[in-house]
Chain A
């Protein structure tokens, strides 16, 4: 046994050390430094966490076959997700050609058994809305608890003058 451990056991109860150890681990929470930060991230877990959320994303137009921005009634983003634990909150951002998030939609899905998948469809109206002012290549971004999961680009063509 290393000396320091034995010394610890002799001078202070191990439970106290546990307590202090836990407290020390959390010390940054109770007395944060004035200017510098304890930036040490937690090392990777050796225990496999719940399976990460995996996804696939595709985009379709309604009505089918529409291409011009004035003809596309809706853009539907179909996401297929699997993995995760507990109820899963998902977001879908529809991003304009200029990079601005035009609309963010949310959905919740239940936890899925291993290997199971669930589909989520979220849509944004185009024709007759302000979105029709922004022809070009848009992006649908599926966002999970830890950030973006998948993206899909789609083009809304400008109406010929």
Chain B
């Protein structure tokens, strides 16, 4: 019996840390707490059917420890056979156990409990044979082996030095087996970098997988995780790939797996993170992809990120087909943000900012990623700001997210400029659209206090604690003032800035649901002006109408409540001008100068226009659109665009409401569109995760 260096006994569920104390005595009592046991995958013809195989180690940074192997059977070891027990080590760390690797086995004679020798094999050649009591080819201090069996138990210990392992670098796949019977195990994964022996860990999926399509081409892009040796990409038609690849099996392109075909595979730590699929693609066909990251000897990830994989549908650039589409696989119904003639930006439940190039000259570059999606850590469910920021060069996207943070991202490079408040959440969630008061357009009263920086305003969406409104510095995202009255309900919609009077309009839930603050200080406007309007709960943004009756009359702040009433507030005197009740809407109303356009959840888009008869807006027309998105007006062609929940994009005539509709993705809700007036394009996202670009006008 040999006792290897005892060490601190420290076990955590699921892994065995270095420091296991194992006595090689042919008994299993000291393995009782070991979790690192192989599932037995007996391949049949078992003369010696192994029921339990475990690994432990007691190695440390000095590499004086050993790797321990335990094997058990349900019956006693056969007494009429010479039996060998051992394992293979993935020495070249290529993710598989092959003949380049080392195999160690200990031989026991018939009816004997003590070994006769330890053998070391490489490339099918015996390179070492060691008798009991001898070393095993390791360096001084790490050159021992021992084995013992009794009854149904066999134990083997080999020094790290003999195995060629060393602490911190020994990250290997194992497989253990016994002869006769060729009964062997599934893979175990030893990771000396954290001193653990673990079953093969669940392999993470690739990150930020996207699919873009132009005629005849689908391109996939992704980020490889740290645990990565390669990817396997499956493609199917008609439905997502339905069958997962088998772990530890390598596949080549054109192989069939279930309903899908392998279109790409790589290995050996490949850094490839894009795949362009052009072969055998037919425009108008929807192609479903799953990208399976693999690691640890071809252990495949779920391939279910985004859920169900991702699809793309290349189409000819004809008719009402999109020029390009780009999918993140996550709902993307927010109104995109356009840098006119340059790029279009999106965000959604992916929780990342996306940027796509606008290129009217080179089709292959049109819609290409300007940079990889920039994760902000949580879903984004409100439109974001795209603007210059005083104190910095260039344009920036300022994004609020569901973790309560606000992030400024360089719109040209994707680099994060700052995360507001030093990275600490401003609230439970930021649902309101960040808006800015730009110093470059501000008046003297503003500049007297806030010279050199813009103010960025956001409100919080807290469900259990009072809400706040913050003014952030454009320079570094630091909080410059906070409005925290203690009775502010959650803020779900965008705020509105009045540059002339330096006022900030905040729509919220609860009492005093529309509040008017000084944008300079964050204090409510002083009496005799009204700072709080009890309009009822507000979930959408406050907007400014250019004139309440005609464009030359004073402006109004306009807002719709959750009860479906639209109010107009005189922005000079802060008094209510009028109200009408078209019905509930999930979006803000779009002002038209003396009226508005509203999307009603009941299933229509309506235009209301100033009526001299009733001295407030009256219904001009109503067009049926199922659960419509917000609208975008094409002022050039006098059309209104809205997305429907049925997957269609609706084009409505400004004067009559006469509608045409174009399919984006049947059955998948379409979001609020936006228009690039420089290149005459409409961009719109959808619940299926795509952002598509269409040429205007529609044919």
A: residues with CB less than 8 A from B are 1-2, 5, 8-9, 13-23, 25-26, 28-30, 32, 34-35, 37-39, 41-43, 45-47, 49-50, 62-63, 70, 73-74, 85-87, 89, 93, 96, 98, 100-104, 111-113, 125, 127-134, 143, 145, 147, 158-159, 161
Contact = CB atoms under 8 A, between A and B. Distances in A.
Nearest to A102: B331
Contact of B35 (A1, A21, A50, A87): A50
Interface string B284-326: 0000000000000110001011111000000000000000000
10 contacts: A5-B81, A14-B84, A18-B103, A18-B121, A18-B182, A22-B88, A22-B103, A23-B97, A47-B40, A161-B600
Contact of B202 (A49, A62, A145): A145
Contact of A158 (B39, B96, B601, B629): B601
A1 B179 CA distance: 13
B40 A100 contact: no
B645 A73 contact: no
Contacts of A103: 330-331, 349, 379
A112 B24 CA distance: 30
B601 A17 contact: no
Contact of B493 (A9, A128, A145, A147): A128
A157 to B, nearest CB: 12
Contact of B584 (A42, A70, A131, A147): A70
B86 A18 contact: yes
A5 B80 CA distance: 12
Interface stretch (B152-160, B242-250, B359-367, B589-597): B242-250
Contact of B98 (A30, A74, A125): A30
A62 B461 CA distance: 13
Contacts of B39: 42, 45, 47, 49
Contacts of A73: 463, 490
A87 B84 contact: no
Contacts of B40: 45-47
Contacts of A23: 88, 97-99
A87 B96 CA distance: 25
Interface in B252-295: 252, 254-257
A25 B43 contact: yes
Interface stretch (B12-20, B130-138, B440-448, B544-552): B12-20
A17 B329 CA distance: 48
Given A45-B39, A63-B463, 20 more contacts: A2-B47, A9-B82, A15-B105, A15-B121, A19-B88, A19-B121, A28-B248, A29-B248, A32-B251, A35-B254, A41-B246, A47-B53, A49-B39, A86-B13, A100-B331, A104-B305, A128-B493, A134-B669, A147-B302, A161-B584
Contacts of A21: 177, 179, 182, 184
Nearest to B305: A104
B571 interface: no
A27 B484 CA distance: 67
How big is the B interface, by class?
35 or more
Given A45-B40, A130-B334, A133-B627, A101 B308 contact: yes
Contacts of B201: 86
Contacts of B600: 161
A52 to B, nearest CB: 13
- Per CB-CB distance, the 5 closest pairs between chain A and chain B, nearest first, are A128-B492, A86-B14, A45-B39, A128-B539, A161-B602
B42 interface: yes
Interface string B28-60: 000000010111111100010101110000000
B429 interface: yes
B126 A32 contact: no
A124 B581 CA distance: 29
A33 to B, nearest CB: 8
B484 to A, nearest CB: 20
Contacts of A129: 381-382, 431, 492
A63 B627 CA distance: 24
Contact of A62 (B42, B331, B463): B463
Q: Which of A18, A35, A96, A125 has the most CB of B within 10 A?
A: A18
Given A14-B107, A87-B14, A111-B12, A29 B250 contact: yes
Interface in B346-396: 349, 379, 381-382
Given A13-B119, A45-B39, A46-B40, A19 B80 contact: no
B22 to A, nearest CB: 19
B688 interface: yes
B555 interface: no
Nearest to A5: B180
A9 B84 CA distance: 11
Contact of A47 (B47, B52, B602): B52
Interface in B97-113: 97-99, 103, 105, 107
Nearest to B687: A100
A20 B96 CA distance: 14
Given A37-B257, A38-B249, A39-B246, A18 B627 contact: no
A136 to B, nearest CB: 10
Contacts of A8: 180
Given A19-B88, A47-B37, A1 B103 contact: no
B51 A47 contact: yes
A161 B19 CA distance: 68
Contact of B81 (A1, A18, A25, A29): A1
A28 B285 CA distance: 33
A48 B248 CA distance: 21
Contacts of A85: 13-14, 35, 199
B14 A22 contact: no
Nearest to B15: A86
A56 B84 CA distance: 46
B175 interface: yes
B156 to A, nearest CB: 13
Given A19-B99, A85-B13, A132-B586, A43 B688 contact: no
A22 B175 contact: yes
Given A19-B124, A125-B431, A127-B539, A70 B248 contact: no
Contacts of B257: 37
A70 B602 CA distance: 13
B447 to A, nearest CB: 34
A59 to B, nearest CB: 16
Interface string B207-250: 00000000000000000000000000000000000000010111
Contact of B463 (A46, A74, A93, A161): A74
Contacts of B186: 42, 45
B422 interface: no
A161 B603 CA distance: 9
A43 B40 CA distance: 9
Nearest to B629: A133
B124 A128 contact: no
Nearest to A104: B307
Contacts of A132: 539, 586, 601
A102 B493 CA distance: 20
B121 A98 contact: no
A37 B667 contact: no
B531 interface: no
A13 B126 contact: yes
A159 to B, nearest CB: 5
Nearest to A9: B82
A15 B47 CA distance: 16
A29 B249 contact: yes
B165 to A, nearest CB: 18
A17 B179 contact: yes
Contact of A98 (B461, B540, B667): B667
A161 B182 contact: no
B47 A26 contact: no
